[in-house]
Each structure stands twice: as C-alpha cells, then as structure tokens.
C-alpha cells in the first residue's frame, strides 16, 4: 500500500510505502498525486522504481 504524506509544499509529493506495494498502488495513488502537483506548480517528474514491484 502507498500512503501520501500530507502537509508538504505544493510541488512536493511525499509517499510512504507500507507492506506490499503493487503497480496498481503506484498507478492509483502516486501518478494522480504527481499530476496534481505538476498542474498546480509546474515542474518535472523524477521517477524511481523500487526493486520487486509487481
């Protein structure tokens, strides 16, 4: 599961991985959060994938 970390600057997306993380978690939580941050402030996406992500 992926949880968003609240209370960060507008252009910052903080995430916390808890337990098993799936590609669906990434697509449903991380991608929309990053898209919202980019829409608010502009910027760039720097992405790293964790090993073992399914």
Judged by DSSP in three states, 4 sits in strand
What pLDDT shows up at residue 9?
Answer: 81
pTM: 0.69
pLDDT reported for residue 44: 66
Tell whether the model's pLDDT for residue 54 goes beyond 60: no
Domain ranges, ordered by start, for the chain: 2-41
Q: Is 42 left (phi over 0), alpha (psi -120 to 50) or beta?
A: left
- H or E element at residue 15: strand 14-17
The pLDDT tens digits of the residues spanning 20-51 come to 989 899 899 998 988 888 888 776 666 666 66
Phi and psi, residue 12, nearest 5°? -110, 130
């Amino acid at each position: 599961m992926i949880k968003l970390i609240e209370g960060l600057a507008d252009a910052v997306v903080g995430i916390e991985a808890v337990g098993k993380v799936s590609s669906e978690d990434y697509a449903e939580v991380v991608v929309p959060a990053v898209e919202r941050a980019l829409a608010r402030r502009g910027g760039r996406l720097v992405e790293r994938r964790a090993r073992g992500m399914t």
